[in-house]
Amino acid sequence: MSDRPTSRFLVRSTPPHISTLILIAGISALSMNIFLPSLPAMARTFDTDAHVMNLAIAGYLGVNAALQILIGPLADRIGRRPVILGGLIIFVLATVGCIYAPTVEAFLLCRMVQAVVAVCFAVSRAMIRDMVPPEEAASMIGYVTMGMAIVPMIGPAIGGELDRAFGWEASFWALAIAGLAITLLCWADLGETQTHRSAGIGKQMREYPELLASPRFWGYCMASALCSGAFFAYLGGAPFVGTEVFGLASDTLGYFIGAPAIGYAAGNFLSGRFSRPVGIDRMVLWGTLITTAGTALSLVLTYAGLTTQWTFFGLMTLVGLGNGMVIPNATSGMLSVRPHLAATASGLGGAMMLGGGALLSALAGAVLAPGTGAAPLQWIMALTSAAATLSALGVIARRHAIGR
C-alpha cells in the first residue's frame, strides 16, 4: 500500500470514505433509471410519441458521453473534489428544471443538462485508482459498484410506485433531494485524492493519442462498451416491451425493470472476490460470455414462443451479472495502461461506453413498434454481447503475443 492517509468519515483532509464513493456512483445510476416506468405517462403529459420520450435516455447518454471526454482532463488538472461538487450542484438545478418544464423540448433540454452527473461516473473511478495500487483497483471498484447496484435495483421500483401515487414528477423530486443530500455529504467528506496536477487541459487533450495508440486500452474499452451496450439497449427498449408486449402497469414494470441490477450486484461481488486471484482479463472474458449466453437464450425462447415477462426479465439478470464482472475489471485495465492519465483514461473509456450506449438505446427505441414483439431488442443485445466477447478474446490474445 501507499503512504496515503487512511480514510476518516466526514474528515476532508483524508480520502473519501467508501460509503461516500458508493453514494457518488449511486446518484449517477439512479438518475438513469428511476423514471423509466413513467415514460409512457410522460409521453401522454407532453402529448408526444414514445420514441421522442426515449430521447430522455438516448440523448442523456449521448451528452454524458461527450462530457466524459472533458471531465477526465479537467479532474486531472484542477482536482477531483471541485469537479464532483460543481457537477452535483448543476445536476440538482437541472433536475428541478425537469419538473417545471412546460414543454417536451424544455424537459429534454433540462434532462441533457442533468447529464453533468457524469462527473460522478468518471471521477469516482479515478479517485479509487488514486487511493489504491493497480492490483487492488479492480477489487475496490467491484465492491463499490456492488453497493451501487442496490440503487438501480430498487430505483425503477421506487419510481413506479411514486408514479402511481403522485405522478411522474415525484421521481424527479426524489432525484433532486438525493442530489442535494449527496452534495452536502461530499462537501463534508470528499477529500482530494489527486496528489499532483497535470500540465494543462490542452496538453492533456493532446495526450489522448497516447491512450488511443494502445491496443490494450482499445480492447478493454470495447469489451466494456459493447457488454454494457447490451444493458443500455435494454434501458431503451424495456419500457416498451414491458407495457406493449406484456401489458404491465407502471408500478409493476418498475419491479421487473430492475432485474439486471440483481445480477449486477452479484457480478460486482465476484469481481471484488476473484479479480486478484483469477486476473482481470479472464474475469472480463467470463463476464462477456455470461452476457452473451443470457441474451442468446432469451432470443431462442422468443422464437420458440415461450417468452413471458418472467423469462424475458429474468434472463436479464445474466446481462447484469456479466456486466458486473466486465466493467470493474475492464475499467481497472484501461486505467492501468497509462497510470498518469487515470482520470483521462476513465473519461475517454466512459465516453466510448456511454456514446455506444446512447446509439444502442436510440436504436432499440427506433426498431420496436406495435407488433414487433421483443425480438428486435433481443437481437441487438445478443449481437452486441457477442462482439464484446471477441474484444475480450483480443485482449487475451495480445497479452499472450507479447508474453505477459
Span 372-378, average pLDDT: 91
Give per-residue pLDDT as tens, 326-337. Answer: 988 888 888 777
Report whether 358 contacts 301 (CB < 8 A): no
pLDDT surpasses 60 at 196? yes
Poorest-confidence range of 91-105, 166-180, 314-328, 336-350? 336-350
Query: For residue 276, what pLDDT is reported?
Result: 80
pLDDT surpasses 90 at 380? yes
pLDDT surpasses 60 at 396? yes
Q: What is the distance between the alpha carbons of residues 40 and 251, in angstroms, rounded to a whole number? A: 12
pLDDT surpasses 80 at 263? yes
Query: For residue 29, what pLDDT is reported?
Result: 79
127: left (phi over 0), alpha (psi -120 to 50) or beta: alpha
pLDDT surpasses 80 at 35? yes
Across the chain, mean pLDDT equals 83
* pTM of structure: 0.73
Report whether 132 contacts 1 (CB < 8 A): yes
pLDDT-derived band at 1 (thresholds 50, 70, 90) equals: very low
Poorest-confidence range of 30-34, 193-197, 310-314? 193-197
Percent of the chain clearing pLDDT 90 (strictly above): 28
pLDDT-derived band at 180 (thresholds 50, 70, 90) equals: very high
Domains of the chain by residue range: 18-402
- Among 3.40.50.620, 1.20.1250.20, 3.40.50.720, 3.30.1280.10, name the CATH number for the domain at 18-402: 1.20.1250.20
184/368: higher pLDDT: 184
Poorest-confidence range of 54-68, 134-148, 268-282? 134-148
Write the DSSP assignment of 332-392 as a string of letters. HHHHHHSGGGHHHHHHHHHHHHHHHHHHHHHHHHHH--TT-TTHHHHHHHHHHHHHHHHHH
Span 100-108, average pLDDT: 93
Max avg pLDDT among 30-39, 85-94, 264-273: 85-94
Give per-residue pLDDT as tens, 198-252. Answer: 555 666 666 667 777 778 888 888 998 899 889 888 988 888 899 888 998 878 8
Span 272-294, average pLDDT: 90
Max avg pLDDT among 233-237, 354-358, 374-378, 393-397: 374-378
pLDDT-derived band at 7 (thresholds 50, 70, 90) equals: low
283/133: higher pLDDT: 283
173/265: higher pLDDT: 173
User: Residues of 285-322 as b/e, b for ≥16 C-beta within 10 angstroms?
Assistant: bbbbbbbbbbbbebbebbeeeebebeebbbbbbbbbbb
Query: For residue 376, what pLDDT is reported?
Result: 93
Span 112-133, average pLDDT: 79
Give residue 209's identity as a one-letter amino acid code: P
Span 41-69, average pLDDT: 83
Query: For residue 2, what pLDDT is reported?
Result: 46
Q: What is the distance between the alpha carbons of residues 151 and 154, in angstroms, rounded to a whole number? A: 6
